[in-house]
């Protein structure tokens, strides 16, 4: 039995196809993987670095010239190292962290030496490092990754002198001209700072008006890491202003402080941030700070 003879063009075509497939099979495939999906509206783009084009606003922080200053501080070392806003304690002869009604622990203010990096100029950050005898478990500083526009923050502290908290969404960087009593290194129009601006998105039920007393509170991300220190508020704009993570790192370096080991924090959400804030205050990881006369 004879098979029909195939046309020559079909034979040559099969041979050429075999050669082409063999050549393609040996070619290196160095294609890049697919691009990641664009960030969600909530997540937003990565926060850009400080630039000369950041929007500038003027804020008056702290109370009037009379009366004791009160604010919030939080632990960054279990042996008695704390962070707060410098305008809260500037000019205080005695500083105390309130442990219970009528009882407090005296704190010593670290001096403000020259900066160790060019990213945060001297006398440009409203941050103060405090030392006490003994302390509370430390809050973890931002450990990895960058901030994203739209990211949520949580601010536990003592607004209006009582326990309370707020939450916000990151808008971006701004340049703040801070007018507050007792601040060293003030420019003629106020003290210039590069800050993070957050849009207030919620607060403790029943808390109305300004947030005086929240200055110095930690700004926590959803992992419970400190991403900034609360330093000012613009009530009409619905804005909260904090220092940046870079400013915190520089302030600790200038004070020769190494943050202590911090336990893992529980995730923070809009459903539980009030309970988490109460727990931080109860454990004195977030405490009220004030000038005292005794």
**168-226, pLDDT tens digit by residue?**
999 999 887 766 555 554 444 456 778 999 999 999 988 888 898 999 999 999 999 99
CA separation for the pair 211, 57 (Å, rounded): 18
Tokens encoding 273: 């941030």
Kindly state the helix (H) or strand (E) to which residue 72 belongs, with its residue range. strand 70-77
Is residue 149 within 8 Å of residue 172, measured between CB atoms? yes
Query: pLDDT (tens digit, 9 = 90+) per residue, 249-261?
Result: 999 998 888 887 7
User: Which pLDDT band, with edges at 50, 70 and 90, does 24 fall under?
Assistant: low
CA separation for the pair 79, 81 (Å, rounded): 6
Q: What is the DSSP letter of 190?
A: B
Please, what is the average pLDDT of the chain?
A: 79
Please report the pLDDT score of residue 146 as a whole number: 79
Read off the pTM.
Answer: 0.75
User: Which pLDDT band, with edges at 50, 70 and 90, does 14 fall under?
Assistant: confident
CA separation for the pair 280, 97 (Å, rounded): 14
What is the mean pLDDT of the segment spanning 109-132? 70
Percent of the chain with pLDDT over 90: 40
What is the mean pLDDT of the segment spanning 132-146? 85
User: Which pLDDT band, with edges at 50, 70 and 90, does 65 fall under?
Assistant: very low
CA torsion angle 132 183 213 218 (round to 10):
-60
């Amino acid at each position: 039995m004879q098979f029909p003879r195939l046309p020559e063009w079909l034979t040559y075509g099969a041979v050429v196809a075999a050669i082409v497939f063999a050549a393609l099979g040996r070619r290196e495939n160095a294609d890049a993987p697919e691009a990641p999906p664009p960030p969600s509206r909530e997540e937003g783009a990565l926060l850009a670095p400080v630039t000369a084009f950041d929007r500038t606003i003027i804020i008056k922080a702290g109370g009037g010239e009379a009366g004791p200053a009160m604010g919030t501080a939080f632990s960054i070392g279990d042996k008695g190292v704390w962070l707060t806003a410098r305008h809260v304690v500037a000019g205080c002869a005695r500083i105390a962290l309130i442990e219970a009604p009528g009882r407090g622990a005296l704190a010593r203010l670290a001096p403000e030496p020259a900066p160790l990096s060019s990213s945060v100029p001297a006398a440009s950050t409203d941050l103060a490092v405090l030392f006490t005898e003994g302390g509370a478990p430390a809050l973890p500083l931002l450990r990895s990754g960058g901030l994203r526009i739209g990211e949520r923050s949580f601010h536990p502290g003592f607004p209006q002198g009582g326990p309370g908290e707020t939450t916000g969404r990151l808008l971006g960087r701004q340049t703040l001209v801070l007018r507050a009593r007792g601040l060293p290194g003030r420019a003629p129009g106020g003290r210039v700072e590069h800050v993070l601006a957050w849009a207030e998105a919620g607060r403790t039920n029943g808390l109305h008006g300004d947030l005086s007393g929240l200055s110095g509170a930690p700004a926590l991300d959803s992992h419970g890491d400190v991403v900034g220190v609360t330093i000012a508020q613009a009530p009409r704009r619905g804005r909260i202003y904090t220092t940046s993570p870079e400013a915190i790192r520089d302030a600790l370096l200038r004070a020769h402080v190494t943050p202590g080991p911090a336990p893992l924090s529980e995730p923070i959400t809009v459903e539980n941030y009030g309970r988490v804030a109460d727990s931080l205050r109860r454990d004195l990881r977030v405490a009220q700070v004030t000038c005292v006369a005794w």
